[in-house]
């Protein structure tokens, strides 16, 4: 018997398939694009193929912003619950999760029994999210994956005052024009996002272990800064984008037991 979780986010869609013992037998992801239903079906199909299954998984749970556009799902569950389950599976001691996705950032507090006790999400503005970093990388003409290593070479931390993605972009362009080193600008961008995340986190009284998930957790510069702001080492799963889908797959397993 196999169980699948599909996390349909604003930027990417992920799928994780588990076997009866809860081991990951396949995982896959792709950009969500304009048609989230199509992306969801495609990622499920390719994960099923990777796992070598000849029938669809026994139970499927969908999560993420596009969770309602997955007609194959037996249940839809929010990404808050799924992220918590996924991370808890990997880090049983986790108490605080900081997830920075394409369009939103959220901080989730986990109680001693592994339940979600509270969460905050950014409001309708995408400042401080993955999209913010994408826009900045484009303005600086550097690859997204290079932001982390580059920022670690910075000698000086400059400050980016605009919260708004569009204004921050023009601020960055003017810094480039003034020949401020790219590493320092990136360092400043990271600082501005971390400041926002830190204030979100403070509202939740963060306790260790703190785990960061979402695509932005791949950025080593961000993780270091967040650790400094939190006063604790921030842990990152091996595949920080997959925790939502993993949590969904674990929920699918739970459905079978209900």
Partner 1 sequence: MAQFVKTDAGKRLTRLITNGYMDNIVKAQQGAFVVWIAIIVPAEIFAGFDNVIYCVPESHSALCAGKGVGVSLCEKAENLGYSMDLCSYARIDMGCHFNQGADSPAGGLPKPDLLVSNNNNCTLLAKWFDVYHREWDIPHFILDIPFCYQPQKQRDMEYIVSQFQDLIQTVEKLSGQKFNPEKMAQAWENSVEAAKHWRRFLAAAKNKPSGITAFDSFVQMAPTLTMRGTPELAEHYRFLADETEARVDQGIVPAPNEKYRLLWDNIAPWHQLRKMSSRLGALDANIIAASYTYCIGSLEGSLDPLEFASLSPLEGMARVQNFTICPHGLQLRGQAMKQAIEEMDIDGVVFASNRSCKVYSLMQMDQQRYVQEELGVPTVMIDVDHADERKYSEETAFVRLEALLESIDEARR
Q: Which residues bind partner 1 (CB under 8 A)?
A: 65, 77-81, 104, 115-121, 123-124, 203
Least distance CB 159 / partner 1 (angstroms): 26
Query: Contact 109/222 with Cβ under 8 angstroms?
Result: no
Task: For partner 1, give the closer residue by CB, 83 or 191.
Answer: 83
Separation in Å, CA 139 to CA 121, 160, 170, 218 = 26, 14, 8, 20
* Least Å from the CB of residue 33 to partner 1: 17
- Shortest reach from residue 45's CB to partner 1, in Å: 25
Q: Which is nearer to partner 1, 103 or 162 (CB)?
A: 103
C-beta closer to partner 1: residue 65 or 132: 65
Burial 199-220 (b: 16+ CB within 10 A, else e): ebbeebebeebbbbbbbbbbbe
Cβ nearer to partner 1, comparing 88 with 189: 88
Closest contact distance (angstroms) between CB of 204 and partner 1 is 11
- Using CA atoms, how far apart are residues 90 and 102, in angstroms rounded to an integer? 22
């Amino acid at each position: 018997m196999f169980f699948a979780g599909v996390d349909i986010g604003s930027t990417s869609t992920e799928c994780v398939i588990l076997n009866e013992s809860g081991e990951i037998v396949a995982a896959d992801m792709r950009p969500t694009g304009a048609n989230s239903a199509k992306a969801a079906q495609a990622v499920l199909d390719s994960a099923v193929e990777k796992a070598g299954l000849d029938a669809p998984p026994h139970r499927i749970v969908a999560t993420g912003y596009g969770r309602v556009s997955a007609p194959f799902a037996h249940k839809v569950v929010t990404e808050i619950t799924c992220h918590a389950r996924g991370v808890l599976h990997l880090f049983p001691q986790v108490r605080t999760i900081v997830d920075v996705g394409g369009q939103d950032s959220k901080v989730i507090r986990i109680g001693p029994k592994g339940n979600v006790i509270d969460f905050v999400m950014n409001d309708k503005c995408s400042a401080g999210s993955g999209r913010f970093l994408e826009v900045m990388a484009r303005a600086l003409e550097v690859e997204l994956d290079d932001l982390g290593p580059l920022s670690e070479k910075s000698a000086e931390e400059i400050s980016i005052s605009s919260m708004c993605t569009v204004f921050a972009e023009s601020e960055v362009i003017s810094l480039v024009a003034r020949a401020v080193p790219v590493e320092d600008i990136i360092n400043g961008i990271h600082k501005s996002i971390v400041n926002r995340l830190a204030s979100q986190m403070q509202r939740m009284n963060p306790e260790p272990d703190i785990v960061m998930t979402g695509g932005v957790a791949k950025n080593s510069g961000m993780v270091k800064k967040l650790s400094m702001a939190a006063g604790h080492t921030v842990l990152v799963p091996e595949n920080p984008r997959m925790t939502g889908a993993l949590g969904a797959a674990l929920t699918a397993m739970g459905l079978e037991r209900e």
